[in-house]
Each structure stands twice: as structure tokens, then as C-alpha cells.
Structure 1
Amino acid sequence: MTPPEASVPEVLFERRGHLGVITLNRPKSMNALTADMGAAVLKQLTDWRDDDDIATVLVRGAGERGLCAGGDIVAIYRDILDGGHATADFWAEEYELNSVIAHYPKPYVAFMDGLVLGGGVGISAHGSVRIVTERTRMGMPETTIGMVPDVGGTLLLSCSPGESGTHAALTGAHLNGADALFLGLADHFVPSAKLAEIAEVLESEAADFVIARYAEQAPNSELAKHREWIDACYSSDDAEEIVRRLRTFGGEAAKAAETIEAKSPTAVKVTLESLRRAKGLNLEEALKQEYRVGLRILPGRDFREGIRAQVVDKDRNPHWHPSTLEEVSDDEVKKYFAPLGDRELRLSRESDDV
């Protein structure tokens, strides 16, 4: 009999030759990231950083569904009902992990196969060797649950070509491997059937040579084909104007307008402001900004309501408050970015204050 998921380690660490392998091991939960998992990965990366026998690190997900479907939002929901303190601590450690990954001195190879959402983007897209496949379904769907993209996602998407990152962030669209490459969230396309072989070769060969051998031409990005209306419609800094332009343009653009209008109005407006403010920041500055926003969203009604509607009651019928974009004022949006005082995020790799 297969033991229940809770009885096995949530994350596995292996040494295979000169390769350190990290396997997120909650397949029944699509490898959703918990606080314990994030802490364990952070500790292991710290240990391997100074280990001369480890030349490359690989992160992958157990099972067939994907690398990681994001943070464990059911656990976050329960914590919100209890005050939200554990979630604030989890985010602080998770963001530290994102920073460590981004500056890791050894090749950090991420198999972005299957679902890669939210926190899954954070544990992969900051790596130095980011591999997508024909099975990749990536996204930052936070506006769907009344939250704003985090784990450095606002910085990553603010750097995407034109306004494509704004479109991805506001709609929370699931992206295929080609779209992820276009957005700058990944580097290489490899058929999923080759991943096991790549992992084996990485045990003894340098990552650059291995990837050069196996990488293939990716399919054309569908997202890239829509650059004309995406850049034209999303260039405004006003969410209501963006929706108006999308409706006027019609077709796929009008569908995007409908999608945005179904999201939390507060989350949409704060997400747009977060993306605009992220331009020109480094990762640590962006993470600090996201932490400010997150801690102010945490006690709010929409985050709790979004999680309830999507994963608790699963009625997919959230009741947002305020219920329209017009009701969310600019002054209200600005409050999410105010300094936190002694609650500010502290990262090991400090930079100038935001």
C-alpha cells in the first residue's frame, strides 16, 4: 500500500555525482510550497553553495502534474482566519529563498514542466538555467484570489517585452512554454521526454554543455502574435482605461477585458501599480515592495474571499469589495506601498532601501 503523502518528506534532497537534486514532493497537492519546504530548500542551497563536490543544482517536481502550483493557499487561508502571522513569516523566508536562487553561484537548473504557478515561478524563474517543455503551464494568477503577484514576479513581468507582462499579471493567464520564453521567464525549450536523460547527464557534465546539446527550437509564442493590441491597450497606468481600450479593440482583447473585470478590483489596481513601480528596481527592492503590499492585503477581505471561492468552497463566485475598478481610489492604492516600519522585510543580500 502506498503511504499517505503526509508520511513522506515534502521535499527530497539527493546527491547524484556532482549534481544536487531538489525534488518538491507533494504530488497530490501539485507540489504546493509550504513553509517547511521553503526553509528546507533554503538550508540545503546554503549547504551546497560551499560544497565543492556539488557543481550544479537541479530543482524539479514529483509526479506528473508539474513543478509547483504555488504556495499552499489552503494553509494560508487557515492562517488568515487565525491572524495571518505564520503567512507573514512564510513570505519573509520564501522571498529570502528567491533572492538566494537569483544570486546562486552555481548553475541552478529548473525543470519548469507541467504547472508552474505563483510560488513555483519564484523557485524556478530566478534560476540561471530555466527549462520549459511542451507541457509547461505557467502563470501568476494572484488577481484571481485577491492577491498581487509576488516572489519577484512583479519585477520579472515588468521586464517582459512591451506590455506583455502587464497582460499576464492582470489576467492571470496560464502561459505555455513558448509564451514563458517570450516573456523572459525561461531560457530553453526541451521536450519533456528528455528531462530524465538531462538530469542523468548533469551528474557528470557541465550544465552549459548539457543544455546546448538538448535544447530545441520552441514553437512560436501565441502571446507574441498579440503584441499590437497588448502594447496599445495596456500602455495606460489607469486600469479603467486599460479595460476600455481592450473592449474597444474587440476580439481577444475584449475577452481579456472580461477576464480582468472578473478579478478582484483592488488586486488589479494594486498589481498595475506594483508593476509600474517595479521598473528599475533590483530583485531585493522588488521583494521588499511586494512584502509591503502582501502584508496589507493579508488582513483584507478580498484575499480571504478569493481563496474561499477558488479552493475552499470552490463555487468560483467571489464577492469582491469594492466590486468595481471605479470604486478603488488612487489614494487607497497608494496605501499598500507605504513603509512598514519595524516590520519591513530584511534580506541577507541587502540593497538600498526602496
Structure 2
Amino acid sequence: MNAETLKTEIKSDIIVERRGSAGLITLNRPKALNALSLQMVRDLTAALTALRDDPAVLLVAIRGTNKHGQPGTPESRFGGFCAGGDIRFFHQAALAGDSALEDFFTEEYSLNHLIQSYPKPYIAFMDGIVMGGGMGLSQGAKVRIVTEHTKMAMPETNIGLFPDVGGGYFLSRCPGHVGEYLALTGEVIGADEAIGFGLADIKRDAAQLPALWDALGSRVFVSGAEADQWVATEFIADPERSSGATGHIDTYFSLQRVKHIVDALEAAKDDPWAGKTASVLRKRSPLMLHVALEQVRRARSMSLADDLRMERDMVHQCFHLRPGARSETVEGIRALAVDKDYKPQWLPARIEDVKPGMADAFFASPWTAETHPLRGLK
């Protein structure tokens, strides 16, 4: 394959190109902020597997499309990465008892594992919104590029869910107790915080991204080792952004229980940040705050595969412990994305009403080790 070689495949809402020694993947569902459908998950898995097994492809990169601009122009391909999974689909499928909901999570988590264990350099252009499932597509990358437009979060407790797609694994590896903070609050962070918290590697001006993308496709390498060396040389992390201060966060989010955290935040009368953070937590699903806190702390000592198996158990329970409209997750999505009344009827309604042990049911697996849908992950 030479530098002039170009092969483009368009599948559902993704575009796959082979240029030079690179496989280039574009998420192409901009009107939905590139939210992942089941078909997109399947097409991404097929594309990454094919690129992995293609000896002419020595590195892979992924980006999202922008809903502004004309399709086909380089500038239109940046400005938004991925807002997560298609939560409207989750809502519809849960109410209909559609088995495709189970398929979605099994296949999405398998895709997350594929990315985290990818044998070739995988580069994520994390411009614009990077949330939920978008984090699952990017956190396993060898190089995670953020820009001045990056808005990163794991906001699942806002819809009665927990930070999945391996969130337990990568959030628990953040410094101090930042993982608990991000998991419970769903706080949106920018590029510098993402780098300081270990969730991104380098920051580039958004205007530079088209040239960087083109540079990936314009080179031909003679070996994987040469491609690895070029990536390591071209994308050097900025040492000035290599650490993030976490003391303020640790003061509160190292505490044992959700109520302890909220009580301490509310007691800090002279600290505006603490008051704002407590107010945010009061709006989240009280039950899922407890589930997410337990998730991050369990995952801290887990392998990625074991964390994903745990999360697969958890997401099953989110839709089956209280099925249909009674599900905390279905209610959260209804309030945020379907009816948009922004008044979820959480059950229990208050943090104080969540009794010890209520979260435990979410960690019970409905499968044996031999029948688990993610039993093959290593």
C-alpha cells in the first residue's frame, strides 16, 4: 500500500478509510451527537477487527463529526466526538422488553475491551463532547487528544445509571478520589483537567486537528515498530499538565458513604465549591450514587475484564430489578430525554432514604461464570 492508496467504506453511521499505513474511523451521526446505536457498535467492532488483522494497517485513529459545515470537508469532521449511547433506544427497548437492549451492552462492553487491548497504536481525537460511551471509545487509546472545545464527563447518575463502558476501571485509576467525584457528580471537565486527572494525554488547538488527521494518513511505515516510534515522537505529552491537584476533592470523596460525603459538603458553609457540589449530588439518583460509589471502589482492585463483567451484571440489574417504567434508569431517561420535564421521581427520593445494602443487589450476577455473556474477555 502506498501513500496514494485510499479505500473508504461507509457503514451505518461510521466511515472507515485506509490511507497510507493508517486506518481512519469517523463517527458520522452528527445530528445525534454521534450517540452510539447497536448497529454502530457492531460496525465499529467489525472495522477495528478488520484493521487489526490487516498487515498493511499499522495504526488506527478515531474522530467524530460536527453537525455544522458541509460533509466531506475536513473542517466538518471535527467539533464533536461522541455523546454516549442512544439513551432513547434504551428507554424504548426497556419498555418493550426488547432483547436488543441486552445485546447492546454485551457488544458495547466487548468493543470497549477490544479498544483497551488493541495491539496497534490507537489515537482518539476527543474534540467537543466526550461523554459516556464516547469515553468507552477513547479511554483505551494510546494517545488521547483533547482541545479547547473538549467537554468530558461520565454523567450517568443524572439518568439513574452508573458510569459504565469500563468507567469503574478508568475512573478508579484517576489520582486520589477523583474517580468517585466524577462518577457521582457527572461533572463536565475540560482539556486541562482531563490531562491532570489522567483521562487525556495531550492538548492541541482544534484548528490543528485536520492537519494532524491528514498527517496520519499520509505516511507509510515499513513496520509496526516504526509506526510506534513515530507516534511516540509526534504525540509527546505535555509534562506541565501531567498532574492534577486533588486535595480538595479527596477531603470529601474519600469518605466512606454517600451521606458522609454530602453531610461534609453541606457543613462547609464558607466553601462555595462544596455547596455547589452538594447541590449537584442532591439532584442525582440517590440509589445510583450509592451504586456508583461502590462500583468505583470495587473496580480499583479489578482487571479491566473483571470490571466489565461486573458492569454487565450491574446494567442488567438496572433494567430488571425493577422492570419497565419502574426502573430507576428508565425513569431518569424519561425525565431527561423523553418527556424533558427534568423532574425524575427517584426511588428512594432522598439520599437519607437509601438503606445500607440497597446497592448490593446491583452487584449480584444473574449468570454463572460459565454462562456470563462476557466470559470470553481476558
Q: Answer yes or no: same fold by TM over 0.5.
A: yes
State which of 135, 138, 143 in structure 1 corresponds to 2:149.
135
- The structure with the larger Rg is 2
Matching of residue 267 in structure 1 with residue 270 in structure 2: no
Query: Which residue, 344, 349, 353 being the options, matches 2:377?
Result: 349
Indicate how the Cα distance of structure 1 residues 336 and 191 shifts in structure 2: closer, same or farther if over 3 A, else same: same
- Per-residue deviation, 1:213: 3.8
The CA deviation string for residues 297-322 of structure 1, in whole angstroms up to 9 with x for no partner, is 12332211110111111121111111
Counterpart of 2:20 (choices 17, 22, 44) is 17
**Structure 1 match to 2:266:** 247
d(CA) in 1 for partners of 2:231, 2:360 = 47
Distance in 1 between residues matched to 2:127 and 2:232, nearest whole Å: 15
Is residue 2:63 matched to residue 1:42?
no
Decide whether the 8 Å contact of 1:302 with 1:321 is kept in 2.
yes
Match of 1:151 in 2: 165
How many angstroms apart in 1 are the aligned matches of 2:45 and 2:286? 34
Question: Residue in 2 aligned with 1:4?
Answer: none
2:34 partner SS:
coil
> 2:110 and 2:95 mapped to 1: Cα distance?
25
Any unmatched runs of 5+ in structure 1?
Answer: 1-6
Q: Is the 8 A contact 2:12 2:43 kept in 1?
A: no
Point out the more displaced range, 286-295 or 194-203. 194-203
Q: Give, as a single letter, the amino acid of the residue that structure 2 aligns with 1:248.
A: A
Q: Is the 8 A contact 2:258 2:351 kept in 1?
A: yes
> Which residue in 2 is equivalent to 1:3?
none
Equivalent pair of 2:58/2:120 in contact (CA under 8 Å):
yes
Q: In the TM superposition, what are the counterparts of 1:179-218 in structure 2 within 5 Å?
A: 179-203=193-217, 204=219, 206=227, 208-210=229-231, 212-213=233-234, 217=238
* SS of residue matched to 1:336: helix
TM-fit CA distance, 1:154: 1.2
Query: Does the CA-based 8 Å contact 1:107-1:207 persist in structure 2?
Result: yes
CA distance in 2, matches of 1:30, 1:218: 32
Task: Give the alignment's Cα RMSD to 1 decimal.
Answer: 2.0
Match of 1:124 in 2: 138
Counterpart CA distance in 2 for 1:65 and 1:200 is 16
Q: Percent identity?
A: 39
> Aligned ranges for residues 279-298 of structure 1 at < 5 Å?
279-298=300-319
Residue 357 of structure 2 is aligned to residue 331 of structure 1: yes
| Cα contact 1:56–1:108 (8 A) shared by 2 | yes
Take 2:296 and 2:374, find their aligned partners in 1: how far apart are those partners? 21
Once the two structures are superposed, what CA deviation does each residue of 1:174-201 show, in whole Å capped at 9, x if it has no partner?
1101111122111111111111111111
- 1:70 aligned counterpart, secondary structure: coil
Q: What runs of 5+ residues in structure 2 fail to find an aligned partner? A: 1-9, 67-77, 221-226
1:209-228 per-residue CA deviation (whole Å, 9 max, x = no partner) reads 3564465749869x945x22
Maintained 8 Å contact 1:131/1:186: yes
2:59 is matched with which residue: 33, 56, 60? 56
Match status 1:277 vs 2:280: no
1:321 aligned partner? 347
Matched with 2:337 is 311
Measure, in 1, the Cα distance between the counterparts of 2:148 and 2:255: 33
Secondary structure at 1:13 match in 2: strand
Measured against aligned partners, the alpha-carbon deviations of 1:273-310 in whole angstroms (never above 9, x if no partner) come to 10111011111110011111111012332211110111
Q: Deviations over 1:133-183 (max 9, x none)?
A: 111101100000000010001111111111111111100011101111122
Q: CA deviation at 1:8?
A: 8.1
Asked whether the equivalents of residues 237 and 273 of structure 1 are also in contact (C-alpha less than 8 Å), the reply is no
Whether contact under 8 Å (2:202, 2:235) holds in the other structure is no
Amino acid at match of 2:252: C
Does the CA-based 8 Å contact 2:156-2:162 persist in structure 1? yes
